[in-house]
Structure 1
Amino acid sequence: MLRINHPTSLQENKRRREHVDMMYISIETAIALASVVGNVLVVLAVCVNRALRNTTFCFIVSLAVADIAVGVLVIPLAIIISLEFNTQFYTCLFLSCLLLIITQSSILSLLAIAIDRYLRVKIPTRYNTIVTQRRAYVAVFLCWILSFLTGLVPMTGWNNRNAQGNLSSSSDIVCEFTTVMRMDYMVYFNFFGWVVVPLSVMIALYGEIFRVIRRQLNRRAEATCDGDRYYRKELKLAKSLALVVFLFAVCWLPIHIMNCISFFCPKCSIPKFAMYVGIFMSHVNSALNPMVYAYRINGFRNYYIFPSTCILLFSIDAS
């Protein structure tokens, strides 16, 4: 029996789709604003507060810059790609690669922070001679270079161009991430190689950091000295930074797990709503880090309170 779509039902479906798109764009825009404002405050806090100008916070600034890029670049690109606009294959592929570059820079910055914290508690007497400000800048530079190199791998040929058939260089496609990006690259190279391995290393490093700190504090339990204060301060900061790593894993693993399901089980269908939630969670992560710093690190908390107080007093005077 031939089924005819009624014009009214088509209009309702179109309105529903437009409503969903508007909700998606609104939520993404709110996440982008929160990410940019919060992480700009992080960068400014490090620049203004001399107590925060050390090697660890150099890596935190690198992470904040990556999170700012998420709000300024990644989320707008995700919105554009979700609207399914027509463009050339390699243009869509390059835009998709930019999303990977920013993600990679975040995880490499987190790995650099973990290594820095490990060296600080493992070799405290030699730390300042080994981890200098100049070497920290070099490490940040290498993190970003490596992020670009790994993120742009699909541009060298590991992509879905062959799956598009006889596609000429001038032909347009509907730009979607899964249309241009191969899932074996996303699963084996991006997820297993550049997410699981760094996260595993970070978990091992923070486990060792907490073990060393607890051992040192137990040794100094009956003594009150600078060493005791030093390790208690390191313990508090290590807990805060480990929380940042934990939030990164919680926010990013769902979308990667769904990619694995799509790759290893092609017949399994993943609801579009679940994919949207996974994308939202990966973007929300960029807005969470400044909140962790504000609530757990005094230098950031004091800096955040001061601008907020000034804005409140200004609004009271204006009224």
Structure 2
Amino acid sequence: MSSSPGIKSQEHVDLLYISIETAVALASVLGNVLVVLVVCVNRALRNTTFCFIVSLAVADIAVGVLVIPLAIIISLGFSTEFYTCLFLSCLLLIITQSSILSLLAIAIDRYLRVKIPTKYSIIVTQGRAYVAVCLCWILSVLSGLVPMIGWNNRDIQGNFSTSSEIVCEFTAVIRMDYMVYFNFFGWVVVPLTIMIALYAEIFRVIRRQLNKRAEATCDGDRYYRKELKLAKSLALVVLLFALCWLPIHIMNCINFFCPQCRIPKFAMYVGIFMSHVNSAMNPMVYAFRIERFQVTLVQILRRCMLCKSTEPTPCPSRMPALTEKGDV
């Protein structure tokens, strides 16, 4: 008995989605592990700013290790109990939400560095940075577990009317009004708006200070080039965040406000993929554009290559020298 062309086409879409998501997961884990490793090796990078960057890297590692595999499993539609499927779906929300809040924390931190440079070290201490990181994760857990306390599809769809098990799908357990009103409007649009406002003020302050310093010092041109690179990085952060996260949420809004509208499954896969690929982009945007990061990363990679080409025993004894070079 031959299978229909529609089923074969859908299988190809699922296989392509799984293959791309696996590649994104590997890139996200590898890139963000290198971020954490560079900060651990180079003592000069262990400040409040990189505390937030490490928090973001940890969230993005969790995206590659947990979120993407869970998203693939849920997309396959396996059968399980309702609350098991609901908890797995909530894990996706928690980890992705922590990534968004970490991005917001970095934006606030960089705004304070530009706005009040003389008082920054007094206001943003290492202890307060740790508290802010913990607060980001606590808020992510609380917002992500809201469906577990009742804002879900158990009563609406009557999942327990005939059987104790359901086909586990994200939209089968998570209510779309939660995704639109609470998750999107409250925890994506609001942080994105705040980040846009912060970065707009950062550009304004940098432009004003660059004009003053260019007139007052001979090194104005060099300073301008350095700050211009940072300004471009900040603009790239906002652009990538919006491009990666808005499509899937816009499609959720279409499904919610226009139930009769049909969105192709391939389009939903593209939206999910774009939200996940942001975790693989973050190391390049936040870390690899920083010169100290680049130098330390190159040193680590060179030492790893030397270890592979020579005897493996010298590695531990030579790592302290790497740390000293990173400090310089």
> What TM-score, normalized to structure 1?
0.89
Aligned to 2:172: 179
Partner amino acid for 1:265? Answer: C
Aligned to 1:9: 3
Q: How many Å apart are 1:295 and its aligned residue? A: 4.6
Give the counterpart of 2:144 among 143, 151, 176. Answer: 151
Aligned to 2:252: 259
Partner amino acid for 2:155? Answer: N
CA contact (8 A) 2:86 2:174 kept: yes
Aligned to 2:126: 133
2:241 equivalent to 1:245: no
Partner amino acid for 2:28? Answer: S
- Structure 2's unaligned 5+ residue stretches are 312-328
Aligned to 1:78: 71
Aligned to 1:4: none
Q: How many Å apart are 1:236 and its aligned residue? A: 3.5
Aligned to 2:100: 107
CA contact (8 A) 2:21 2:273 kept: yes
Aligned to 2:302: 309
Aligned to 1:58: 51
Mapped to 1, the partners of 2:56 and 2:13 lie a distance apart of 31
CA contact (8 A) 1:88 1:173 kept: yes
Q: How many Å apart are 1:115 and its aligned residue? A: 1.1
How many residues are paired up?
311
What secondary structure does 1:222 align onto? helix
- After superposition, the CA RMSD in angstroms is 2.5
What secondary structure does 1:87 align onto? strand
- Structure 1's unaligned 5+ residue stretches are 1-6
Aligned to 1:120: 113
CA contact (8 A) 2:111 2:199 kept: yes
Q: Deviations over 1:14-37 (max 9, x none)?
A: 655544433322221111111000
Q: How many Å apart are 1:292 and its aligned residue? A: 2.3
CA contact (8 A) 1:294 1:304 kept: no
Q: Which moved more, 1:134-143 or 1:237-246?
A: 237-246
Aligned to 1:205: 198
CA contact (8 A) 1:117 1:238 kept: no
Q: Percent same amino acid at aligned positions?
A: 80
What secondary structure does 1:173 align onto? strand
CA contact (8 A) 2:210 2:223 kept: no
Mapped to 2, the partners of 1:120 and 1:241 lie a distance apart of 13
Distance 1:125 1:80, change over 3 A: same
Aligned to 1:41: 34
Mapped to 2, the partners of 1:293 and 1:125 lie a distance apart of 23
> What TM-score, normalized to structure 2?
0.87
Partner amino acid for 2:42? Answer: N
CA contact (8 A) 1:85 1:175 kept: yes
Partner amino acid for 1:178? Answer: T
Partner amino acid for 2:66? Answer: L
Aligned to 1:222: 215
2:155 equivalent to 1:162: yes
Q: Deviations over 1:140-194 (max 9, x none)?
A: 0000000000111111111111122261697000000000011111001100011
Q: How many Å apart are 1:40 and its aligned residue? A: 0.4
What secondary structure does 2:267 align onto? helix
Aligned to 1:276: 269
Give the counterpart of 1:90 among 74, 83, 87. Answer: 83
Aligned to 1:3: none
Mapped to 2, the partners of 1:147 and 1:230 lie a distance apart of 38
Question: Where has structure 1 moved over 6 Å in runs of 4 or more?
Answer: 225-232, 315-318
Mapped to 1, the partners of 2:231 and 2:45 lie a distance apart of 15
Mapped to 2, the partners of 1:311 and 1:47 lie a distance apart of 16
Mapped to 1, the partners of 2:159 and 2:274 lie a distance apart of 37
Aligned to 2:316: none
What secondary structure does 2:166 align onto? strand
